[in-house]
């Protein structure tokens, strides 16, 4: 049982962490909270969960397998490969071990402004994010033991069976839905009690906790009812069929975040054949130029350069953004680009030349006439909120940044012939950017204060909710380039949203906006007087509100990413000119080198990509075991 002093200390820490999201606007309190964050991180370093894992003696620098990156794929690989007691595994992670603060679901937005995020921004491009600060989009990517699962919104979505069947049909045997489905069940420890759950589609006893959110606003119940009144069935979107509405399923357990670290690494941290080195930034894969055999990794820790050697394989699991960067730094990538930045070419492959991402629109806000939405100020000033979370894993701090329900729709703009294949996800938020007075959520989408003041400041203290349409299957593709040959410089990210020549992506998003409006007109929400906020988006005043031209302007002004980048190291057969790895995750034209994470996914999936990333790691481990004759 918590003593009063401990409870007060924890409450203060959580509150300051929340406020810390915008240190540049909080003055002395922001600076104080930054100090608290740093102190918490220092405490984790002084009392780590992995005390015997660093291993920097000469004898500890040769391993069977080296894995770069501890996100979902890398953590699953480290777990499963270290099951083989005769194999010695090294897991390298550029970030530190996260503090217990990250386990509070409520803080997921604020954590994007902590040291656990690489802090990337996309490059400015014409056609989107015109209303963002400097025309640039936040491009979050986790930098901690656990990767992006330390800072993400914990939304658990597997995807549509057609995603995987089409994945296989692109020349990738073994990646069909029937091949992948057992891995969903293998990983899962499901405790879904409040939402519909299809029999046979969930399992208990795996490493990965999956739960409902125990705390909900009244607004989400009204939205779920309204969606059903609009014709959408109440479904388990991870079950038999996806199209419909559901309360969100999350990677949480007992009200706390489940990351790849807590799920796949923490339970096995005492395995003697697994070495985990945090704060170790991989800068180059060591590859023998003639044989093109990978034999180790060069990395930097505390300003010092180290090398680790791999007897069998190097596996890059640094995520959709950093895996292509590391390959290019190692001489594997587009020949002209590598030559331009002065990197000797080992293998000419289209690394980073294709990138899909899920764009989401943040400009749809609705007011209601009753207080049925979340009240953040009340939560962070209420002792009961802290007590509920600390003692029972309950209360408002268990909510995942306001995300409460998901609706999968197939708009009338879809050109896909399959009626079961959604093209848009509607993300219901039980509040608005005004709910926290612009402290966190405004900055997540890099929205200028002047735009916030026009659209959301008048709503502060008033009940409002938002629905974010997210485009599942964009026709537009982006790309990644190195900024220089310096491995410590961030790459250049070009999302290239809404660039398809047919304007299909814009048309689909406008169709989704129309569908949101239709749902909101249903009785479930109209009994609360739900109505759209019709204040014109700055820069779009020249268009008639609610016209297609107005919404296109809005979409090109206020757009965000939920960091679902895929295909930057695309999987495909050797004859596929866009492919970087084969169906067994091996980098084409090399030996002893694989990539295993979301970067290999060849098409944008109907999912939030954390769960597909776990599956890539789980299946990747089996492929490796098969290739080395132990499975």
**What residues are labeled active site?**
564, 608
| Burial environment of residue 237 by CB neighbours within 10 A (0 to 12, 13 to 18, 19 or more) | buried
Match 């479930």 to its residue by tokens.
524
Q: Which helix (H) or strand (E) holds 190?
A: strand 188-191
Match 């949480």 to its residue by tokens.
252
d(CA 455, CA 464): 12
Q: Which of 402, 473, 396, 400 is nearest to 223 (CA)?
A: 402
Supply the DSSP string of 560-602, one letter for each residue.
EE-S--B-TT-B--TT-TT-SB-TTSBBTT-BSEEE-SGGG--
d(CA 584, CA 572): 10
CA 233 from centroid of its chain's CA atoms: 27
CA 15 from centroid of its chain's CA atoms: 24
Q: Which of 561, 413, 422, 429 is nearest to 500 (CA)?
A: 413
d(CA 345, CA 330): 8
Q: Do residues 398 and 389 make contact, with C-beta atoms less than 8 angstroms apart?
A: yes
d(CA 412, CA 424): 11
d(CA 501, CA 496): 12
Residue 298: phi, psi to the nearest 5?
A: -100, 135
d(CA 138, CA 449): 15
Within 261-334, strands assigned E span: 274-277, 281-288, 293-301, 304-316, 332-333
d(CA 593, CA 285): 9
CA dihedral of 606, 478, 451, 562, whole degrees rounded to 10: 30
Bridge partners (DSSP) listed for residue 346 = none
d(CA 201, CA 183): 11
Q: Do residues 390 and 401 make contact, with C-beta atoms less than 8 angstroms apart?
A: no
Residue 561 has a CB neighbour count (10 Å cut-off) of: 22
């Amino acid at each position: 049982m918590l003593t009063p002093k401990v409870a007060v200390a924890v409450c203060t820490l959580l509150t300051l962490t929340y406020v810390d999201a915008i240190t540049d606007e909080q003055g002395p309190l922001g600076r104080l909270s930054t100090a608290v964050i740093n102190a918490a991180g220092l405490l984790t370093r002084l009392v780590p969960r992995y005390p015997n894992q660093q291993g920097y003696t000469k004898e500890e620098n040769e391993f069977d397998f080296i894995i770069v990156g501890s996100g979902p794929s890398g953590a699953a690989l480290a777990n499963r490969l270290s099951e083989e007691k005769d194999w010695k595994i090294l897991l390298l992670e550029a970030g530190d071990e996260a503090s217990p603060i990250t386990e509070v679901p409520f803080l997921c937005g604020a954590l994007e402004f902590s040291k656990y995020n690489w802090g990337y921004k996309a490059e400015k491009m014409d056609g989107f994010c015109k209303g963002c600060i400097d025309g640039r989009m936040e491009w979050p990517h986790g930098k901690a033991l656990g990767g992006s699962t330390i800072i993400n919104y914990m939304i658990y979505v597997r995807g549509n069976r057609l995603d995987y069947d089409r994945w296989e049909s692109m020349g990738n045997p073994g990646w069909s839905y029937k091949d992948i489905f057992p891995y969903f069940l293998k990983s899962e420890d499901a405790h879904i009690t409040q939402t519909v759950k299809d029999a046979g589609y969930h399992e208990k006893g795996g490493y990965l906790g999956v739960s409902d959110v125990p705390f909900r606003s009244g607004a989400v119940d009204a939205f779920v009812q309204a969606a059903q009144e609009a014709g959408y069935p109440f479904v388990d979107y991870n079950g038999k069929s996806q199209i419909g509405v559901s309360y969100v399923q999350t990677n949480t357990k007992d009200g706390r975040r489940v990351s790849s670290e807590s799920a796949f690494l923490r339970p096995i941290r005492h395995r003697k054949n697994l070495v985990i080195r945090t704060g170790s930034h991989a800068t180059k894969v060591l590859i023998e130029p003639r044989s093109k055999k990978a034999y180790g990794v060069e990395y930097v820790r505390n300003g010092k350069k180290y090398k680790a050697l791999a007897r069998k394989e190097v596996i890059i699991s640094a995520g959709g953004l950093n895996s292509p960067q590391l390959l290019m730094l190692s001489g594997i990538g587009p020949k002209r680009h590598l030559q331009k930045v002065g990197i000797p070419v080992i293998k000419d492959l289209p690394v980073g030349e294709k990138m899909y991402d899920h764009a989401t629109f943040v400009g749809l806000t609705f007011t209601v006439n009753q207080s049925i939405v979340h009240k953040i100020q009340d939560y962070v000033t209420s002792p009961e909120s802290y007590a509920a979370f600390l003692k029972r894993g309950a209360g408002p701090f268990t909510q995942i940044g306001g995300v409460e329900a998901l609706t999968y729709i197939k708009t009338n703009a879809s050109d896909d012939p399959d009626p079961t294949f959604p093209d848009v996800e509607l993300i219901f938020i039980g509040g608005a950017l005004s709910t926290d007075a612009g402290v966190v959520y405004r900055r997540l989408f890099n929205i200028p204060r002047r735009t916030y003041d026009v659209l959301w400041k008048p709503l502060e203290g008033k009940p409002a909710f938002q629905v974010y349409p997210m485009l599942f299957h964009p026709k537009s593709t982006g790309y990644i380039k190195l900024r220089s040959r310096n491995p410590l410089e961030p790459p250049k990210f070009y999302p290239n949203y809404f660039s398809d020549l047919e304007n299909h992506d814009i048309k689909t998003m406008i169709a989704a906006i129309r569908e949101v409006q239709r749902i909101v007109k249903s009785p479930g929400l109209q009994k609360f007087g739900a109505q759209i906020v019709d204040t014109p988006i700055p820069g779009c005043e020249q268009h008639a509100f609610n016209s297609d031209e107005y919404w296109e302007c809005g979409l090109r002004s206020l757009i965000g990413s939920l960091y679902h980048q895929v295909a930057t190291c695309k999987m495909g057969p050797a004859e596929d000119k866009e492919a970087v790895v084969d169906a067994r995750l091996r980098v084409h034209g090399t030996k002893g080198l694989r990539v295993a994470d979301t970067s290999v996914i060849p098409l944008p999936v109907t999912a939030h990509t954390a769960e597909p990333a776990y599956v890539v790691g789980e299946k990747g481990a089996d492929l490796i075991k098969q290739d080395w004759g132990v499975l």
